[in-house]
Structures are given as C-alpha cells and as structure tokens.
C-alpha cells in the first residue's frame, strides 16, 4: 500500500550498523524495521501482540472450541448449557432461510435467491469498465424488470407473491438498488439545477438538497410511513415498501446530487464554451459533452455513496419493513432462540460486510487506476 511510503520512516538501524543482528536475514530485517525499530515501537508491538493473542484465544474459544453447531430439532438445551461461554451457531442453520428471505412462501424461495443472483450479476457487470456506455441503461432496465418478474411472479409457472411477503436480503438489495437507479437521474437533474443560471430553479434545488441532507433518514422514513397517507386523496394508498422506497429515492437523490455537482465543477469551462460554439442546445451539451466527463470524475465517490445507502437501508427496521436486519431481529423473537441474538447479528454482519467490503475495495481500485492513468 501507498500508506507506508508517503510518511518518512524512522531511520533504519540496519543502515547504521551492518553487523547488528538480522542485517543479512531478510525476515529478521523486516521484523526489525517494522516491529522493533525503537524502544517505544517494541513496547507497542509487545502490548498489541499480548492483546491480540488474548482476544484471539477468547474468540476461538467462544466461536469454535466451545461452540454448539447443531442441536436436535428445536431443543436448545445444549446451547443453553454453554451460554456465555460458547457460541450457538445452531441458530443459523435453523433460521437462515427466514433471515435471508423472510416470509416469502417457503417452496418458492428459489425465486428471491435467483433475484439476489441477478442483482449480484448486475453489480459485477456494472463494475466492468468496458460496460460503461449508454447500453448499460438498457441492461439495468432489463435486469430490474427480471427481478420484478421473479419476485412478483403472476405469470404461468410463477404464482403471484404480494410484496407484503417479501423479506430479507432481496428487500435490502431492492431498496438500495432501486434507490440508486431512480435517485441517480434525480440527482443529475438536481445537480444541473443547482448550477443553473436561473435563480428560481437554483433555489428550489438548493432547498431540496439542504432540507433532505439536514435531517436524519429516520425522519424521512417516518414521513413516508405516517405522513404520506395524510397527504394523499381519500382512498388512495400505496404499499409501505413502496413508500419507504420513495423516501430512499428522495434521500439518495439529494446525496447523489452533491456528488455529481462535484463532478460538474471539475469539467473545465472550455468544454462548455466549445459545446456552445458548435451550436448545441443546453440539453445536448449536458448529455453529450458535460455529463459523461463529470460522471467519470466521480465514480469512486459514487461507489462510496452507494455503500452508504446499502448500509442505510437497514434503517427501515424502525418503520417495520422486512429487510435483512429486520428479519434477523425477528428470527430471534422465537423464545427458544431468543438468547442467541449475538450469533445471528454476527451472521448478518458478515453478509453486509461482504457486500460493502467488495464495493469499497472496488472503489479504491478505481482510484488507483485513475491516478495511474493521469
């Protein structure tokens, strides 16, 4: 990593005294410069090692040696016996279907699983540089339609499943991905509006962005769940999941607008002037000249924003929508398993971590590639 090279290291002792221990052994030399370069560094290393070993031992004891991996049926006696000493991983095989897919009809759960797979393929495709072209919009439209078809069904062979029964990982992915898919165009329009020369449009956009960014997402979700019905005409109501989705889109739009605005500011003036001089209209200029450059600039921060959304969708727990975190929390309401929530939370944390870690690695890789390309 570039971290170590940027800040000067302490002078290497080996350079001073070539005959000192370890000078010829690469491993020993490495140890000496990186772990025992000075008295304070040695003390830190020793303390950290002691702490690390202690933590590792207790973790291995809890998570592996004293853990219970399976129990017969719903009898959690074996788990209760080791409570506080060892983990009860038996809760995971017992509950994983519910945690991952919620109350989706049990025999149809291959459908949310397939939808999750489509999501992952979509993410992987989008991450490829060769795919960054206009046709990507079409790929997204097809993939999202396919996911809708899989989840809802309603065609021969796929019985209809109402979205009230959806739950778990697909709901988290839907909230985050649709939030991005609809928030992105919204963000582009608002970012353009915020840089527009027309005062009324500019102030509307500023108002929207600052209002949304100034309040917590929870209050937007409360608005969606409590206030939305108040603001609609009599008898008109839409599903809770869709209302939360609208809140997430509005929230995403405001944050994405700020990211995109950063990219717009990075496009040099000459590009605008050149576009004007060949007689392009405002929209042609933005679509063909400005936006492609602006968005390329901000792809790494866009990925980071997406990671933030992916995590923030877990807040829908508070208004009672069955996303991954809510199903996990619900799974352990079962009195037999109530005492083993830590294990379930660890399981869910691993799923979230896998997605976010992959994305953050990817964003870092893009940044280094961009730096190398310049």
Give the interface with other proteins as residue ranges (CB under 8 A): 3-4, 6-10, 33-35, 37, 41, 44-45, 48-49, 52, 84, 197-201, 204, 211, 214-219, 222-223, 226-227, 229-234, 307, 311-312, 314-315, 317-318, 325, 329, 341-342, 345, 348-349, 352-353, 356-357, 360
CB 125 within 8 A of CB 131: yes
- Residue 158 pairs in a beta bridge with 155
Orientation of helix 135-152 relative to helix 110-127, angle to 10°: 170
CB 14 within 8 A of CB 26: no
Q: In 3-state terms, what secondary structure has residue 69? A: coil
- Nearest residue (CB) to other proteins, 6 versus 107: 6
- Nearest residue (CB) to other proteins, 93 versus 229: 229
Minimum distance from residue 363 beta carbon to other proteins (Å): 12
Residues 6 or more apart whose CB falls under 8 angstroms from that of 46 comprise none
- Nearest residue (CB) to other proteins, 111 versus 285: 285
Minimum distance from residue 228 beta carbon to other proteins (Å): 10
Rounded CA-CA distance 251/216 in Å is 10
Rounded CA-CA distance 219/221 in Å is 5
DSSP for residue 106: G
Minimum distance from residue 144 beta carbon to other proteins (Å): 23
Minimum distance from residue 33 beta carbon to other proteins (Å): 8
Residue 166, token pair as written in the block: 């959806």
CB 175 within 8 A of CB 326: no
CB 306 within 8 A of CB 363: no
- Nearest residue (CB) to other proteins, 65 versus 346: 346
- Nearest residue (CB) to other proteins, 94 versus 343: 343
- Nearest residue (CB) to other proteins, 53 versus 121: 53
Minimum distance from residue 108 beta carbon to other proteins (Å): 27
Minimum distance from residue 3 beta carbon to other proteins (Å): 6
């Amino acid at each position: 990593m570039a971290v170590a090279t940027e800040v000067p290291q302490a002078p290497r002792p080996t350079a001073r005294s070539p005959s000192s221990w370890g000078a010829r052994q690469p491993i020993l030399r490495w140890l000496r410069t990186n772990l025992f370069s000075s008295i304070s560094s040695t003390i830190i290393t020793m303390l950290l090692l002691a702490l690390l070993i202690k933590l590792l031992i207790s973790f291995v004891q809890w998570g592996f040696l004293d853990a219970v991996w399976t129990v017969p049926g719903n009898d959690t006696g074996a788990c209760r016996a080791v409570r506080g000493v060892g983990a009860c991983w038996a809760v995971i095989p017992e509950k994983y279907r519910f945690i991952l897919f919620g109350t989706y009809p049990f025999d149809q759960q291959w459908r949310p699983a397939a939808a999750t797979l489509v999501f992952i393929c979509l993410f992987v495709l989008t991450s490829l540089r060769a795919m960054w072209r206009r046709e990507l919009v079409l790929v997204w439209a097809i993939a999202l339609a396919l996911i809708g078809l899989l989840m809802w069904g309603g065609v021969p062979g796929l019985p209809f499943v109402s979205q009230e029964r959806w739950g778990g990982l697909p709901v988290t992915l839907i909230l985050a991905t649709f939030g991005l898919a609809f928030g992105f165009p919204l963000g582009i329009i608002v970012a353009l509006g915020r840089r527009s020369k027309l005062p009324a449009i500019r102030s509307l956009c500023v108002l929207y962005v600052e209002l949304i960014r100034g309040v917590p997402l929870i209050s937007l979700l409360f608005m969606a769940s409590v206030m939305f019905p108040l603001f609609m005409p009599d008898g008109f109501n839409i599903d809770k999941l869709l209302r939360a989705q609208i809140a997430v889109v509005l929230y995403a739009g405001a944050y994405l607008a700020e990211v995109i605005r950063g990219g717009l500011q990075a496009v040099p003036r000459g590009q605008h002037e050149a576009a004007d001089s060949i007689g392009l209209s405002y929209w042609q200029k933005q679509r063909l000249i400005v936006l492609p450059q602006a968005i390329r600039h901000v792809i790494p921060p866009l990925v980071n924003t997406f990671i933030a959304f992916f995590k923030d969708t877990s807040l829908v727990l508070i208004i009672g929508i069955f996303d991954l975190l809510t199903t996990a929390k619900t799974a352990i309401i079962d009195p037999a398993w109530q005492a083993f929530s830590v294990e379930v939370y660890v399981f869910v944390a691993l799923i979230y971590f896998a997605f976010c870690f992959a994305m953050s690695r990817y964003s870092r890789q893009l940044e280094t590639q961009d730096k190398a390309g310049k």
